[in-house]
Amino acid sequence: MERTRVFIVEDQPPLLKNLVKSLSLFPELEIVGTSGEGEDAVRQILELRPQLVLLDLELPGIDGIEVTRRVKRAAAEVEILILTSFDDETKVYEAIQAGASGYLVKRVGPEKIRSGIREVMEGGTVLEPIIARRFWNYFQSVRTQQAEPKQPENPWGLTPLEFDVLRFVAKGLSNAEVGRVMSIERRTVRTHLGHIYRKMGVNSHVEAVVLALRAGIVEL
């Protein structure tokens, strides 16, 4: 079994210790390093090149959002899953815009983190439902303020099936949930998402949904 190489960034030593201990119990995860500070985290991540970073937002020095920006600029293949006490939609928006693939609050247990890591590594995006609702509401308000002109409908040539997948992920469904609703396998959902990303020129659920919202071709 191929293990997912994980790097953890958390500035509270007791919580960091607990995260390392609990996540190390899962055989598919390998903790390759830790850090409690922003600049040091960026340096280590770029040296170690983990597959996924579990990242707190509140850090000494540069915060988690800036860590995300710097890492994604230098190593776009590294996935970033935010784990923080924040549940503010503004922070969610900034983290996702910076390149994060998911966002969980710290009160969730190890199994939830484990499933979040798996979802991200399978090409999904992780947002807790209450955070997802706040995020999309926040984005809608930003879109209204910006008053961007509506783009032509379906400028990317998405198929009807791809449209259905995109509409479901816009509702906050995971890959597995989309598969159940559409009666297709989870890996088939991932394949469709790959086609959607390529056609739209994006790398995540959220980027695809944001573009579709701007074009006015999906509704929340």
Q: What is the CATH number of the domain that holds 31?
A: 3.40.50.2300
- Are both 99 and 201 inside the same structural domain? no
Does residue 47 lie in a domain region?
yes
pLDDT at residue 27, as a whole number: 96
Q: What is the mean pLDDT of residues 103-108?
A: 84
- Are both 95 and 196 inside the same structural domain? no
- What domain range is 168 assigned to? 150-215
The conformation of residue 3, written as its DSSP 8-state character, comes to: P
Residue that terminates a domain, selected from 110, 134, 158: 134
Q: What is the mean pLDDT of residues 89-104?
A: 80
Q: Is the pLDDT of residue 14 over 60?
A: yes
Q: Is the pLDDT of residue 220 over 60?
A: no
Q: Residues 54, 7: contact at Cβ < 8 Å?
A: yes
pLDDT at residue 214, as a whole number: 73
- Are both 39 and 122 inside the same structural domain? yes
What share of the chain in percent tops pLDDT 70? 85
Q: What is the 3-state secondary structure (H, E, C) of 158-210?
A: CCHHHHHHHHHHHCCCCHHHHHHHHCCCHHHHHHHHHHHHHHHCCCCHHHHHH
Does residue 144 lie in a domain region?
no
Q: What is the mean pLDDT of residues 120-149?
A: 65
Where is pLDDT greater, at 41 or 150? 41
- Are both 119 and 159 inside the same structural domain? no
Instruction: Report the alpha-carbon distance of residue 121 to residue 112 in Å, rounded.
Output: 14
Does residue 141 lie in a domain region?
no
Closest CA to 193 of 177, 212, 169, 210: 169
- Are both 101 and 199 inside the same structural domain? no
- Are both 32 and 99 inside the same structural domain? yes
| 179-210 residue pLDDT tens | 888 999 888 988 999 899 899 988 777 778 77
Q: Residues 48, 20: contact at Cβ < 8 Å?
A: no
- Are both 10 and 99 inside the same structural domain? yes
| Sheet strands side by side (includes 102-105) | 29-35, 4-9, 52-55, 79-84, 102-105, 126-127
Closest CA to 190 of 207, 169, 213, 211: 169
DSSP H helices in the chain: 13-23, 38-48, 64-74, 89-98, 110-121, 129-146, 160-170, 175-182, 186-200, 205-215
- Are both 161 and 206 inside the same structural domain? yes
Of the CA atoms within 13 Å of residue 69, those in its CB half-sphere come to: 11
Does residue 188 lie in a domain region?
yes
Instruction: Report the alpha-carbon distance of residue 3 to residue 196 in Å, rounded.
Output: 27
- Are both 115 and 190 inside the same structural domain? no
Residue that terminates a domain, selected from 88, 108, 134: 134
Number of domains the chain is built from: 2
Contacts (Cβ under 8 Å, ≥6 apart) of 186: 122, 175, 176, 179
Question: pLDDT band at residue 131, thresholds of 50, 70 and 90?
Answer: low
Residue that terminates a domain, selected from 72, 101, 134: 134
The rounded mean pLDDT for the chain is 85
- Are both 185 and 129 inside the same structural domain? no
Q: What is the mean pLDDT of residues 42-59?
A: 96
Q: What is the mean pLDDT of residues 34-63?
A: 96
Where is pLDDT greater, at 16 or 124? 16
Does residue 19 lie in a domain region?
yes
- Are both 12 and 120 inside the same structural domain? yes
| Buried/exposed 186-198: b ≥16 CB within 10 Å, e otherwise | beebbebbeebbe
Closest CA to 175 of 156, 194, 201, 158: 194
| Buried/exposed 162-179: b ≥16 CB within 10 Å, e otherwise | bbbbbbbbbbbbbbbbbb
In this structure, what CATH number is given to the domain that contains residue 179?
Answer: 1.10.10.10
- Are both 169 and 198 inside the same structural domain? yes
Q: What is the mean pLDDT of residues 102-126?
A: 87
Q: What is the mean pLDDT of residues 92-119?
A: 86
Question: pLDDT band at residue 174, thresholds of 50, 70 and 90?
Answer: confident
Highest mean pLDDT, choosing among 35-49, 108-122, 201-215: 35-49
